Structure 1
Amino acid sequence: MRLLRLSSIAALALMISSAAQADQESDRLREALRSATAQARAAEDQRAAVQAKLTAAEQERDRLRKQNEAYRAQVKEAEQAYRQAVKDFNERIAERDESLEKWKAAYGEAAGVARTKDAERSKFEGEATTWKASTKACEAKNVRLVKIADDVVKQYERMDPLEKVMHHDPVIGFKRVEHQNAAQDFRDQIIEQRAKP
């Protein structure tokens, strides 16, 4: 019996110690469970915070992407406007250059015409001066021719009919040589007055 008691006490002690150990183990497991639960909650909280940050970052990324697309569209529009402005400017410069070339050609043509007209004017002025001098010389010669013709007529009128017959009659012709010499003098005077172009 004693042995039984002892063995029962030992079994009871073993049981108690086992129960105590089981309680300790249970406490330790509870503590580990609590710690694991706290860690899981902390991890869950961290995951939620990271998820919130990720969502916020994705929203920020989407916002920035849209903003970037809007900026790119603005840059593209600005580039197109710039290209169009450069094209318009180049076209205006080309038109201006073309107009300038036309004006230069027209000016050159007008200057050529003016030079030609000026040369013609100078030529015509020279010709006019020559013609004026020639005309004056012709007028002076005409005056002398009229005087010579007047002298011829006066001399012929002074002749009486008898002289006329004597001058022209081939048989009598006393003054025929005189008359021919006078006619030759008048002819020479007339020839001297001939206008020379």
Structure 2
Amino acid sequence: MRLLRLSPVIALALMISPAAHADQEGDRLREALRSATAQARAAEDQRAALQARLTTAEQERDRLRKQNETYRAQVKEAEQAYRQAVKDFNERLAERDDSLEKWKTAYAEAASVARAKDAERAKFESDATTFKASTKACEAKNVQLVKVANDVVTKYEAMDPFEKVLDHDPVFGLKRVEHQNAAQDFRDKILEQKAKP
């Protein structure tokens, strides 16, 4: 009987055992479902975070593309400005070189004119010095000539009428030779004072 008593317990245990087993299986499945749901939520959260990062990265990429395009446009403008500046500089340099050549030519012409004028000035100064010396010499000779003329006039005035008659008289002509010698001396003195250009 003891065995019979045990049988219902065993039977009950056997019956409970599948139910317990089924409950354990359900618990395990519920736990697996909860775990799967949590993982799914975590995966969804991770996907949302990655999607947000992707959106941010795409926005950053678009911003960088726009910035890159802006920089390229600025670089292109800078290159054009640089080329224009180089072109303008080269044109100004060519104009400066042309102006410099013109100034050099004008300076050379002015220098040659100045040299010619300086040579003329030196010649004129030399001529003026020569003329001044010649004028001084002529003035000195003129003074001497006036002196000689005064001597002639003085001697002539000093002659009394009787000497004049004796001098010009062909018969007596006593002083004629003396008078002719004095006249020749005066003529020589006058000729010595003749200016020679």
Output the TM-score relative to the length of structure 1.
0.63
Identity rate, percent: 11
Cα drift, residue 74 of structure 1:
3.4
**Other-structure match for 1:102:** 119
Whether 1:113 and 2:134 are equivalent positions in the alignment is no
Whether 1:36 and 2:53 are equivalent positions in the alignment is yes
Whether 1:150 and 2:150 are equivalent positions in the alignment is no
What amino acid is aligned across from residue 75 of structure 2 in structure 1? E
CA distance in 2, matches of 1:128, 1:54: 105
CA distance in 2, matches of 1:116, 1:143: 46
CA distance in 2, matches of 1:28, 1:144: 169
**Other-structure match for 2:34:** 17
The question of whether the paired residues in 1 share the 8 Å contact of 2:167 and 2:176 is answered with yes
- Out of 79, 82, 85, the residue aligned to residue 62 of structure 1 is 79
Q: Deviations along 1:106-159, whole A, 9 cap, x unmatched?
A: 221220232244235335534654665677668x88874331x2347xxxxxxx
Give the gaps of 5 or more residues in structure 1.
153-185
Mark the CA change 1:142 to 1:111 in structure 2 (over 3 Å): closer, same or farther.
Answer: farther
Count how many residue pairs are aligned between Structure 1 and Structure 2: 160
SS of structure 2 residue aligned to 1:150: coil
CA distance in 1, matches of 2:172, 2:43: 179
Mark the CA change 1:131 to 1:24 in structure 2 (over 3 Å): closer, same or farther.
Answer: same
Output the TM-score relative to the length of structure 2.
0.63
SS of structure 1 residue aligned to 2:54: helix
Mark the CA change 1:50 to 1:129 in structure 2 (over 3 Å): closer, same or farther.
Answer: same
The question of whether the paired residues in 2 share the 8 Å contact of 1:142 and 1:193 is answered with no
Mark the CA change 1:86 to 1:190 in structure 2 (over 3 Å): closer, same or farther.
Answer: closer
